[in-house]
Structure formats: structure tokens, C-alpha cells
Structure 1
């Protein structure tokens, strides 16, 4: 029996979201705390690939998350364009996918700011090589449940000759509960109409489900272009999967060099991020960190910018969280047209507190960015909001944290009576690789498993 949530679409007919056909990994937030693993596979034989999909079907769940997230674990299955091709998907269907997906992230690197040391020439293999065909992710709060799911996935892979595991990455939440840069993450999530997940910002009007899931009207009132046949595209979504290394030592050195003391250093870091380490937003706590506010789920994300901070004196317009989600701030364009679901998971060990020199360990974030429109969501945000400041009136300025800088860029921090200009920013994050993936619905997974030559 299919569970459907009725949605007011603004027309005479209700839109019904087929929740239990949408892969759980596409909609549910990561658990807290969490650990998990990402696995990439190459399909050398199309029949073997379809057999693996058949074996993975029992692992891929749909529907809303378990009420008790500590007892929940799930596996999500996604495919690159080359992966769908390797499975033998008919060319007519392959041609119905959007150009960005067909080309892949590496081919569009300059468009999204992956240049210099972040360019595909420097990516970790097998990213960008065309060998990544299937991407699996497994996440859980419970180590035993995670291991059980991973063992089932391992057995499925090992019992399918003709499919090779070519990359694995363990992810986890650090003991501090924060990112490698020292800030709480995963606070803000889109308010999606009809899905039934908790709203992280009660001031955000619900977004149409078609912004995130194929087969439903989006914010324009139209159905997003959908792969053919209908069974393949409906209830699917696109995922931009990225591995980025964070240069924590460079971050700490820059803050130290541009601050007169520990208090000013903490404020400068918050101005660049847009939140304090606890997660308290500058929009609500402009002078100092407020852990009590941060711990209140009803308050920590309950804010907009236009009424109290349109000029950016509290949270700079160029701060990381404000760039990637301007909310109701005055900007060029409509922010609602560019929302996406962001899932960030940490990898690698923390750099010990106070250390200012890199220890050589690989640490950073595996980010998954989900939406129905790769170009106007993920690519637009990366190109126009992260790596260009025109939309906020700062031409040439980039995201102080996520932008590609190379040691020459500047960033403006509004202040009275005189604004501050940060100079000579290094790049604090470096792209280690990325892939565009399609996350099909469960019926589509069955369709892929049953393909015939």
C-alpha cells in the first residue's frame, strides 16, 4: 500500500507525494550523532550490474525516518550517467536526462569554481574518471546497525562478479559534534510542502515538493523535466556528491593573524561563517556565542534577515550561511528558486586544539546536495553565490569559507562607522572530487534491475 501525503498545490487537484517510493536517504536528515560509509562501484558487466541492483533492493528503504533515529540505519543507492549507461539503460532514456547530469561534474568544473588546486586534474581517483557507476551511502547512529547494513551490502557486492568496489570513505561525527573547522553543522533544512518532515525554520514558507523530487510541481508551478520512461524518473532526485578537504591549520592561522585576541578571533570566525561554534546564528546572537539559544531547536534557526539585518551588520551578507541560503534578504534574484537539501558528513580526525600547522592528515567533508534541478540549484549556488558576489552587491567577492581564493581575494564585513575588509584570503577548502548522481525511486530501482538486452 502506497502512503501518500496530500498537498495543497494551489489548483483544484491535490498533489500527492508518494513518500514510500522515495528513497529514505534522499529526504531524511542525517542522525546525530552519526557514522557511516560511502562506497563507489564500477560495473564491468551490465547483467552483473542489474543483478547487484536486485540484491541491493532489500537494503534501500523508502518513507519517513524512524521515530527513534538512534535505532535507524539506511542505505541509499544512486547512479552516475555512466553507471546508467553501463547497466544498459536505453539511449532514448539516457538522452532524456539533463545536460549537466550527462556531462558530469568534472566536465563542468570551471562553471562551479573547481579551478586551481581544486581542478579535476588534482582530484582523488576515481572521481571524474568515468569509472564511478554506482554510489552507495550507509548512515546510522548505531554502530551495530550500521555494520549490519554494510555487511549486507558487502555480501551483495562480493556475490556479484562483474562489479568492483573502487572507492570507500568512512564518515562520522567528531567527538565535539562539530565540523573540522569547529562549527556545529546540519541545522537548517528546507521546509518541503507535503513531505511531513519537521520544519527547521518556521518563518520559511513551504517550498513545492517539485524543487526536490521529480514528478511534482515546483516553485514555477510546472513539472521539472523528468527522465523517461515515467517509472524511471518519478520520485527520483539528483545528488551532487563532493569530497572537500578542509585546511584547518590555514583557517586558524588566518584568524590569528587578523585578530587582536581570542575574543576578536572568535567573532571574526563567526562573521565569516554566519554562526557561532555552538550553532547560534549571528542574526539572533550578534555579540557573543549563546549555547543556550543554540540548544533550543525552536529558536536556533527561527530567523530571517530582511527585518532586523538587511544591511548585514549582524550577519554579513557575504557570510557562508547567508550566501548559501539568503532567506528573505534583499538580493538580486529569488532565493526560493535555488534552495536545495544539503547533507554534510565529516571525515578524518580533528586537528588538535591550538595547533597552527598542518599535520598531514586528510580531513574534511563529504557533501551531498540534493535537488530536482542541478543547474539552477547546486550549480547556480556554486557559481553565483559562492564564487561571485554580484547578487549581494560585492562584485568579485567570494564565500570567505567555501570560495576558491588562492591568497589574493578580499571579503567585506559591514560595520559602523567603517566597514572592514579582509585581505589576501587563502582557500580553506579544496575539492578532492565530485560526481553527479541520480537517486531513483524504489520502483525505478526495480525497473533498472529488470532491464533486458
Structure 2
């Protein structure tokens, strides 16, 4: 996106001392523990909750600044940065006395809970979920992070224990760990994860920019190259959101949309948190990619490495196939300036990056639905529409590294996958919309695309996936593949992360 020069003074001042740290900035973590709980004595729990040292966005910004300063001096040792946040289900908020949520516009999905939305999300039967949900109902979750599990356990010992004396009990634990170098930040299939996070417009009360622009002249609407700056109301209540319509005939991407008001006053400076446990069958995925690659032929026959990259939309290094369609390019890999510096407008026919590639499904950028020859204005409006469905993702991997025994046998024997978290202000228009209208829609972005081969939830054992044709660049050469399902949703729910002030008001 390009527009007028960025006017930071026109952007909102964010209540960073009140907003929880994981929402807009992201708690620093090598390890994470999600401690799902039941509120057994609301009176005891409220007093305990008000005394917790919850980590604010301001604290996380200061921690990240310290890390950046140390790295500039060549110091790479980790700093102590324990994080503690909390979020509640609708049932949990009711126990805390937050009344009047039923029937409020914008809260329907939150009040219903994720299990009740199974048909919308094409999820497995909730009766078979192994994580939170109907089998393990939770009132809330403590989000604990640290450089090590010892740091997390120290936070528990100092501030959360003993649960029974504070009116709560543990329902379920989910343990996440960032994978080791050189696959740090990669999910278990091996691909760089969380590369395309949006930037956030706004400043702290002290005037510090939340997401600085690396190129304020040529790319005023971006933080890093390709990282679009979004208005904070997309992720936290009480601020302007994105304008889905823009202006005719000269679109202005820097113009804010309407104020995203909290559905009830308690929700100001808070956000919904979506949690899902996604199990991955890694050796089976690898075997399938090998077999599918062997089934391709002709000018656009692919190797397993290339087919896997096409299914994800990025090479394992993080380099986008849109920019490097036939071989990996480490100059475009995760952590390089151009890791996100692309749109899909130069590949409308999907010959480089398949229409159904995971990164294209989940974030279609300037793609136009059912149109491969759009006008410039249609592209601008499509981009504006896309940005109203973004999410602030905070996932982390769980489970052990793939063993050589599993790799040799081609069979998963140990549970591993992704603990998906995201923060939004509309569960329906952000998380659910992306899952239903994009990821699970076989005609998105164009008819015949097929489902997202990574996180799509097919109703049968296999689903269609239309590949690419990067060598010939002939759309008629794209292979139509039948892809099996290797990611299983095993439980989850909808939570709300209140502001620190809202917690004190209980």
C-alpha cells in the first residue's frame, strides 16, 4: 500500500499501561504455559486477581527495547522477562459479576463458545476434543511466559500458588516451547511461522511509536517492508479500526475507520482471545508430500521441497514462493528485509504461488475474489476488505521434536503441533470469517482453488488443492491434487482479556 506521508500525530495514543502485554505487542517467550482454570470461589478469586502483577503492553515494549539495545552491542544472552496475562470465558466473566453479555451485538460468538460454533468452523465433534471445551470447561486461562520453564514455575510459586486458597483450580495445562535453532520460530512441519504479523498504528503515552516505519517516505503505510500498519481497533476495543470502504476515486489507506467501541464498558482496552490446539502429523505429512510430488509430471513437475513450499506459500526458510517460485532464496528468508515485501497482484493466475497456499488463504493481500483481471480501484477495495479480517497471532509449538524412529516409520507416535492464539475485536469477522470464508472455501480466492492444505478442516479425509506452474507459467499446467488432512483441531474456546483497569474494577 502507498499513500500520503505517515502522520504519527494523527494516530491514537494507546493505553499501553492498561492493555495486557500479549495483545498488541506479544509477551517475550521461549516457553509458555497456558493454565486453564475454574473459578470455585468468586469472592476469594477476585481479591487474588486484583493483586496479581499482570504484564502490561508498556512493560513488554520496554523489555523489547532492552533486548534490541543489547543486541546492538552484540549481547545475545536472554534477559529475565517473565510474563503473566489472564483471559476469561463468558462463563468466567459471569462468575466475576460481569453481567448483561447475552444478547449484546458482537458478543454472540463469545457467549456461545467455540464448541457451539462447530458447524461454522467445520471442526471435529467437540465430544472428542482432548483440550479445553465441553470435556474440560474453563472459566479462564493464565498465560505464563518466560525464557525457561523454570522462570514460569517461579512466577507460579510467587504469585499463583496455592490455587485452593485463592478460589480457583486447574482444569487443563497446555505447554508450549519455541523450537531450537536453526528452526527457531518454525512450526513442526518445518516452515517459518508468524512471519506476516500486521503492524499497529499509534503511540504510547510517552510518544513512542508502537510500530515504526522503516521507510516513511516510499512506504508510509508499512512498518517493515510489506508489513501493513493497521488501526488498533482491529485488535483492542476503544480505538479506530480499519475503513473497509476507503475513498473513491483515490483510496486513502491511512484514513481511520469508525471507532470500535467496547460492546460493554468493561471491555474497553481489552480484546477477545481465540485458543485452538492444533495437532500435526509430521511424518505422514512428509510422506504425502513425497508421494504427491512424484505424481506431478511434465514441465511443471516438482520436488517434494517445492511442493511443500507451494502448499504453505513459503519455503522452510520463510522466503515467499511469490518472490522465489522455483528455488529457496535465503536473501528473502525470515528475518530479512523483504520477507513480506510482496503482493499477489503480479501472480493473479496463481502460477507461482497457488491460490490455496496457506499464506494466500489466510492473508490474500491484494487478491480479488473471483477476478483475475481487476481494475486498480477494485484491487484497492479488496486490500481494504482484507485488512478488516486480520488477526494478531500469538501461537507457539508444543510437543517434542520429530524422532528419527518416527521419520523412518512414517508414523506419528508422539503428540506435537501448534497452540494457536490470536487477539481480535470481532470473533465473527476476523477469526471465524478467515476460517470459514477463506481457509475452508474451495472457491477462494478463485473457483477451483481448493482448501487450505495446512489448516483447512475438510468434511472428508481428503480435499482438492490446485497447484502452481512456476516453470512454464502456463495456468493450464497447474496440477489438481488430492491432499489428505494432517492437522487436527483438538479443542479450544473463546476468551476475553480485560484491561488492567477493568480487572481492578471488579
Same-fold status (TM-score > 0.5): yes
State the alpha-carbon separation in 2 of the partners of residues 289 and 150 from structure 1: 43
**Equivalent in 18, 39, 46 of residue 50 of structure 1:** 46
State the alpha-carbon separation in 1 of the partners of residues 423 and 477 from structure 2: 36
When normalised by structure 2's length, the TM-score is 0.79
**Equivalent in 242, 265, 269 of residue 219 of structure 1:** 242
2:330 match: 291
SS of match in other structure, 1:109: helix
Deviation at 1:16, TM superposition (A): 2.3
**Equivalent in 18, 22, 25 of residue 21 of structure 1:** 18
Please show how residues 40-119 of structure 1 align to structure 2 within 5 Å.
Answer: 40-56=36-52, 58-63=53-58, 64-65=60-61, 66=63, 67-69=65-67, 70-71=78-79, 72-89=81-98, 91-93=99-101, 96=104, 98-114=107-123, 118-119=124-125
Structure 2 residue 214 is the aligned partner of structure 1 residue 208: no
Q: For each residue in 1:150-189, what CA deviation from the matched residue of structure 2 results, as whole angstroms up to 9, or x when unmatched?
A: 33344263531x3111111111012232211111212111
Say if 2:467 and 2:479, in contact at 8 Å, map to a contact too: yes
Say if 2:54 and 2:500, in contact at 8 Å, map to a contact too: no
Tell me: CA distance 1:293–1:62, structure 2 relative to 1, closer, same or farther (3 Å): closer
State the alpha-carbon separation in 2 of the partners of residues 257 and 30 from structure 1: 40
Please show how residues 43-442 of structure 1 align to structure 2 within 5 Å.
Answer: 43-56=39-52, 58-63=53-58, 64-65=60-61, 66=63, 67-69=65-67, 70-71=78-79, 72-89=81-98, 91-93=99-101, 96=104, 98-114=107-123, 118-129=124-135, 131-155=137-161, 157-160=163-166, 162-175=167-180, 176-177=183-184, 178-195=186-203, 196-197=210-211, 201-220=224-243, 221-229=257-265, 232-260=266-294, 264-306=303-345, 308-331=346-369, 333=382, 334-352=385-403, 354-394=407-447, 397-405=450-458, 406-415=460-469, 416-417=473-474, 418-442=476-500
Say if 2:467 and 2:481, in contact at 8 Å, map to a contact too: no
State the alpha-carbon separation in 1 of the partners of residues 42 and 491 from structure 2: 25
State the alpha-carbon separation in 1 of the partners of residues 311 and 224 from structure 2: 22
Deviation at 1:355, TM superposition (A): 3.2
Say if 2:211 and 2:223, in contact at 8 Å, map to a contact too: no
Deviation at 1:202, TM superposition (A): 2.6
Say if 2:355 and 2:445, in contact at 8 Å, map to a contact too: yes
State the alpha-carbon separation in 1 of the partners of residues 197 and 289 from structure 2: 29
SS of match in other structure, 2:408: coil
When normalised by structure 1's length, the TM-score is 0.88
Deviation at 1:370, TM superposition (A): 1.0
User: Higher mean Cα deviation, 427-436 or 15-24?
Assistant: 15-24
Q: 5+ unaligned residues in a row in structure 2: which ranges?
A: 1-6, 68-77, 204-209, 213-221, 244-256, 296-300, 371-381
Q: 5+ unaligned residues in a row in structure 1: which ranges?
A: 1-5, 449-453
Deviation at 1:438, TM superposition (A): 0.4
Deviation at 1:125, TM superposition (A): 4.7
User: Higher mean Cα deviation, 409-418 or 104-113?
Assistant: 409-418
User: Higher mean Cα deviation, 275-284 or 218-227?
Assistant: 218-227
State the alpha-carbon separation in 1 of the partners of residues 122 and 236 from structure 2: 26
State the alpha-carbon separation in 2 of the partners of residues 158 and 358 from structure 1: 41
User: Higher mean Cα deviation, 205-214 or 64-73?
Assistant: 64-73
Deviation at 1:61, TM superposition (A): 2.7
SS of match in other structure, 2:240: coil
State the alpha-carbon separation in 2 of the partners of residues 102 and 302 from structure 1: 39
Backbone CA RMSD of aligned residues = 2.4
Deviation at 1:62, TM superposition (A): 3.3
Deviation at 1:424, TM superposition (A): 3.1
SS of match in other structure, 1:370: strand
Q: For each residue in 1:189-238, what CA deviation from the matched residue of structure 2 results, as whole angstroms up to 9, or x when unmatched?
A: 11211151356643344211111110011113222241323xx1111011
The number of equivalent residue pairs is 429
State the alpha-carbon separation in 2 of the partners of residues 29 and 304 from structure 1: 26
State the alpha-carbon separation in 2 of the partners of residues 271 and 190 from structure 1: 22
State the alpha-carbon separation in 1 of the partners of residues 165 and 363 from structure 2: 44
Deviating above 6 A after TM superposition, structure 1's stretches of 4 or more consecutive aligned residues are: none
